[in-house]
Amino acid sequence: MQTTVVRKPGAEPETQLRLAHRADGQLWASRGGEQMAVRVRRAFPWSEPERFISLRDQGDREFALVADPATLDVGSRRALEAALDAAGFVFIVTAVQEIDEEVEIRTWRVATRQGPRSFQTRLDEWPRALPGGGLLIRDVAGDLYRIEDLAALDEKSRELLWAYVD
C-alpha cells in the first residue's frame, strides 16, 4: 500500500508527506513546500480503523489521505499514531456494565482496554456488525467503540447487548 495524497488538478507531483508534532501542540503536515496544521479524521471502512486517515485543515478541507500509515517514514508514522491516540477514536470494549435508554438517547457504561468509559448514542444508532466478527458502536461525539468478540464477553455483558445485536 502507498500513501495517497490529494492535490489540486494541474499541481506538480507530490513529494513525500511528512508529519510532525510541533511546540504549539498541533500535528503539522508538509509536502512540496506546503505545510499546515492538520487534524486527523478516520475515514471508512470502520472495519479498518487504522487505515484511511484523512488529514484536514482548519476549514475541514482534506490536505492528504493516508491510506496506510505503514508507508510513512518512522517519524511521520509516530506523529500520526500519537495524534490518533490523542483523538481517542477507537476504544476496545471488554465489558458492558450498563445501558440506559432515555428520551432520544442511550447511555452506555463500559470497561475498555483504555479504562472505564461512559458514552451516549442516539436511540436510532445501533451497533454495526463488522466483517470478520465483532461490533462497532459510534457515539454522539464520533468516537468508536469496538467489541472484538461477543462470545468472549462475560455473561452480564452479553445479556445487556442481546437486544441490540442481530
Tens-place pLDDT, residues 97-136: 999 999 899 999 999 988 999 999 999 989 988 877 889 8
Q: Cis peptide leading into 45, omega within 30 of 0?
A: yes
* Co-location of 49 and 71 in the same domain: yes
* Co-location of 114 and 102 in the same domain: yes
Which residue, of 65, 87, 109, is where some domain finishes?
87
Given this model, what pLDDT does residue 132 score? 74
Which residue, of 87, 117, 140, is where some domain finishes?
87
Percent of all residues in the chain with a pLDDT value above 90, rounded to a whole number? 42
* Co-location of 94 and 160 in the same domain: yes
* Co-location of 57 and 113 in the same domain: no
CA 70 from centroid of its chain's CA atoms: 16
Given this model, what pLDDT does residue 116 score? 95
Q: Domain containing 114: what range?
A: 90-164
- Provide the number of structural domains found in the chain: 2
Percent of all residues in the chain with a pLDDT value above 70, rounded to a whole number? 85
**Mean pLDDT, residues 41-67 taken together:** 82
Q: Where are the beta strands (DSSP E) in 9-160?
A: 18-21, 27-31, 34-42, 53-56, 62-66, 90-102, 105-112, 115-122, 128-129, 135-138, 144-147
Confirm whether 13 is domain-assigned.
no
At 29-48, the pLDDT tens digits run 998 889 999 988 877 666 67
Q: Is 50 exceeded by the pLDDT of residue 23?
A: yes
* Co-location of 95 and 157 in the same domain: yes
* Co-location of 160 and 94 in the same domain: yes
Q: Is 50 exceeded by the pLDDT of residue 65?
A: yes
Confirm whether 78 is domain-assigned.
yes
